[in-house]
Amino acid sequence: MEAKESEEAAFEAGIKLGALFHQFIGVPVSEKNAEILERAMESCMLLQPYVVEAEVRINREKLRAVSDFGYTSLMPDMLYARVKVKLGDVEASAVLEWREDMKYPLMRLIR
């Protein structure tokens, strides 16, 4: 595996998660449309160059806990996303997940 290709793959994985995060945080979400929103977010990632897998989950417990009106805004602590990209023979996978100990939506490479 060439270092340049693996760096590019890692960069692409991070860019995909960053774009997803900044495009969708704040969107109206409820239990009624959470699954639709998850599939839409996955679909958007899969349209991007090099993406071969995408997974998005919205935490239903947190979703139910914050709204008296039947919906709320998607917040960083509700979101989990995973993406796999492939450049040539090199694959890179990354996740976006809430880190309660840091109070932060951390993006990191995974194996």
Residue 79 contacts residue 34 (beta carbons within 8 Å): no
C-alpha to C-alpha distances, 51 to 22, 31, 44, 103, nearest whole angstrom: 18, 28, 10, 28
Residue 13 contacts residue 94 (beta carbons within 8 Å): yes
* Letter string b/e over residues 31-56, b meaning 16 or more CB atoms within 10 A of that residue's CB: eeebeebbeebbebbeeeebbeebeb
Distance of alpha carbon 83 from alpha carbon 56, whole angstroms: 9
pLDDT at residue 2, as a whole number: 61
Distance of alpha carbon 55 from alpha carbon 48, whole angstroms: 14
Structural domains of the chain ordered from first start: 3-110 (3.30.1300.20)
pLDDT at residue 111, as a whole number: 86
Per-residue tokens: 108:
């990191």
Residues of the chain with pLDDT under 70: 1-2
